[in-house]
Amino acid sequence: MRLSKTITHITGGGSDGWELFVKARKMIAEGHKVTELTIGEHDIKTDTRILEAMHAAALGGATGYAMVPGIDALRDAVATRLTTRTGVPTALENVLITAGGQAALFAAFRAALDEGDTALFIDPYYATYPGTIRSVGGVPKAVQASADNGFQPTFEALDAAARGAKALLINSPNNPTGAVYSRDTLEMIATVAKAHDLIVISDEVYDTQVWEGEHISIRALDGMAERTFVVGSMSKSHAMTGSRVGWLVGPEGAMEHVLNLLTNTNYGVAGFTQQAALFALGLGEGFEEEIAAPFKRRRALVQKALEGQNLVRLSPPSGAMYVVLDIRATGLSGDAFADKLLMERHIAVMPGESFGQAGAGHIRVAMTIPDAPFEAALKEIVDFTAGLV
């Protein structure tokens, strides 16, 4: 088959950095007991009330083609949510429902890029970012955000990279680092975006998981609503990862074009899952806090476990369902550390290098197992590290 260059280049040809993940999965398949701290997914299932609402909608007849933009009631609920949480007046016309946050991300890049156009993203980064850019024929360009700057990008790095670029993807609260961008950082990004006429794609799927400080949407800054797409999702905030319901928010004129795309990518999202999402949003902020609470609690367990030693340090940023640990004092790379930890203690964490160069010398620990085994794993990690020097 004479396949397109675009599809054959999606992975960029190099390692995908997830060898450790695959190795851990293989060990589990072979019968080894491995504590997995690699997965960005809650250790609880979707709430039964939400599933009952979905079933009621399906039995009630929501089994035919749904409107491609999404059902009005859900678009409206998302619009209200954004208006309330970010202060930016948002109407139904600014909102399109997508098959999860990833589909929204894909649509945003298709809206911003033609073949050969450059899109910036901040390193460390979530695994699908460069591949999504390449999937629309774009050229991904990483901008390093160093650990010593709290994994927030600097003006110098961003401005230098922005020459000739078309789009910039940011993600705060951040996966993998947990960084929550400060107002200063966001103002700086907005300045660069305006100077270089960039479309900003703001992945805010962790916006309900902030342990210190506050989440600010870049779309709320002066003059940014007109050049920003916001990616949102029910996955992390409502423990609905498998339902694949997300949204893209942007200027009304742009959304008309995005709708044309959605007609041709998925032809809409299942009506019964949209009804489930609508019900879930109706459970209110209290429910979202319940879903986020375990990660906040476990982050405190991490702080406690790391007390009184200096080899493993908790990276200061504080959002999302992960912590990043700085293990540079051990002299090992993140890769080497994670591999040794897996082989000797059967604990799987992600090497920082899996998320880009700026993650070197770090590991990402997902706080997605129950408290007791999580605490035990942390104790093991500290003990393991002490034995390294």
Q: Per CB under 8 A, which of residues 81..140 are in contact with a second copy?
A: 99-100, 102-103, 105-106, 110-117, 128, 131-132, 134-137
- Please state, in angstroms and rounded to a whole number, the distance separating the CA atoms of residues 107 and 229: 10
CB of 263 to a second copy, least distance (A): 6
In angstroms, give the least distance from the CB of 274 to a second copy. 10
From residue 24 to residue 63, the character string flagging contacts with a second copy as x (rule: CB under 8 A) and all else as - is -----------------xx--xx-x--x--xx--xx-xxx
* Closest to a second copy by CB, 7 or 91: 7
- Contact between 273 and a second copy per CB under 8 A: yes
- The stretch near a second copy (CB under 8 A) out of 74-82, 268-276, 341-349, 350-358 is 268-276
Of 297, 295, 291, 367, nearest to 325 by C-alpha is: 367
Asked if 249 contacts 78 with a C-beta cutoff of 8 angstroms, the reply is yes
40 or 153: whose CB is closer to a second copy?
Answer: 40
Closest distance to a second copy from the beta carbon of 152 (Å): 25
Site for a second copy in 301-360 (CB under 8 A): none
Residues 172-231 that bind a second copy (CB under 8 A): 197, 199, 226-227
Please report where in the chains the tokens 């990043």 appear, as a residue.
Answer: 324
Q: Is 239 left (phi over 0), alpha (psi -120 to 50) or beta?
A: left
239: which 2 tokens? 């423990």
Least separation, in Å, of the C-beta of 181 and a second copy?
A: 22
Q: Considering beta carbons, is residue 31 or 64 the nearer one to a second copy?
A: 64
Judged by CB under 8 A, how many residues of this single chain contact a second copy? Answer: 77
Q: In the set 151, 206, 272, 279, which binds a second copy (CB under 8 A)?
A: 272
Q: Which single residue is written with the structure tokens 């009330």? A: 49
CA 270/CA 272 separation, integer angstroms: 6
- What DSSP designation does 45 have? P
Nearer to a second copy, 133 or 312 (CB): 133
What are phi and psi for residue 35, nearest 5 degrees?
-85, 115
- The C-alpha atoms of residue 325 and residue 334 are separated, in whole angstroms, by 10
Distance CA 338, CA 362 (A): 9
H or E element, residue 336? helix 334-345
Q: Which is nearer to a second copy, 113 or 305 (CB)?
A: 113
What minimum distance in Å lies between the beta carbon of 36 and a second copy?
13
Buried b (16+ CB within 10 A) or exposed e, 296-323: bebbebbeebbeeeebbbbbebbbbbbb
**Going by DSSP bridges, is the β-strand pair 322-326/313-314 parallel, antiparallel, or unpaired?**
antiparallel
CB of 126 or CB of 151, closer to a second copy: 126
Q: Where in 220-259 is the site for a second copy (CB under 8 A)?
A: 226-227, 239-244, 250-251, 253-254, 257-258
